[in-house]
Structure 1
Amino acid sequence: MLQEHVVEALEKSQPYQSPYGPESNLTYGIHELARKDRHRSLHVGLGRIDEHRIRVAPPPGVTIEFDQTVKPYSHIEGELVVGRFTASRTIRPREIKADLRGVAIAQEIQAWAEFKLDGKSQSLQDRMIYTEIFTRNHLENIALMGGAVPPDGYRTFEPGTQAEEHT
């Protein structure tokens, strides 16, 4: 019973239409959470590296090259490599100082751990904020396309700011 342009807009927003794969669409994430809830499955939590800033102080005259394959957003399961580098000469462990305060561990939902937004990894907190905003905007856009406007108009929410009235 929906108008054709509303049906077309819904079709374009389906997860399988995403150029980065269905898992890159926030609707897919919402569906997965709801599916687990319907089946009374647990949402398993885990930790993961959320920020990845390591500083090292090598001995004088030694240069360091970090291995770029060690990335942030790594899951913590048993042992975890947070950084790997190659030195210009062999050094003993006591010759180098490392500052790992830039490595932050954040909570994660295991089923969502591989989720990428527009092809990039995001923190769980950012994904949840974007999901809330996306869902609200998506539903409001569909309602607006169908000619429905709430009596008080729509509200626009931006992460970290107060809600603004908007009609």
Structure 2
Amino acid sequence: MYFCRKHVLICTASHCTQKGAQQVAGRLRIELKRRGLDAEVMANTCDSIDLCDIGPNIVVYPDGLIYRNVQVKDIPDIIESLRAGGRPVERLLLFAESEDEVRRRQLFAEAAAREPVPADEFLALARAHGFDEAWCAEQARRGFIARKPQGEGQAVWVTSKARRRYGLPGGGAEGA
């Protein structure tokens, strides 16, 4: 990496790509070049940042910002935020207190308290928190939940990765 003032990572994992991440990345790079910011702001694509259900996602360093649900129409505002002295685009920011994150934390906390959770019960719990079956499958692929055989079916455990991210008990190296 050469020296730059900011580094922008655009998630282009499959979920984000299905939602237009490649177009967002392309337009962001074009606009950085057009506005003469390409030497001070580096934009790269990356694999998942583990927030696929609310993508396309962009991470801005060293600011530590995460923009969620970014669309091509948001690029002018993001470009302005990347200028020296620019303010973050509040409507796109993800915080630990954001509704999306609160729902995840609540779901994982409830599931962890019930472990092991039969897979069908986990899906019902996820739906009660606004998540669907595809989201559950993505969480398993991303390592936030583990599915293991139990009895005649499967059960779900919350992994140490999810426990660490959401500050739940058992988030140390000894977790699932």
Task: Identify the structure with the greater helix proportion.
Answer: 2
Q: Tell me the TM-score normalised to structure 1 length.
A: 0.25
- TM value normalised by structure 2: 0.24
Greater length-normalized contact order (CA 8 Å, ≥ 6 residues apart): 1
**Bigger proportion of residues as strand:** 1
Q: Which has the larger radius of gyration?
A: 1
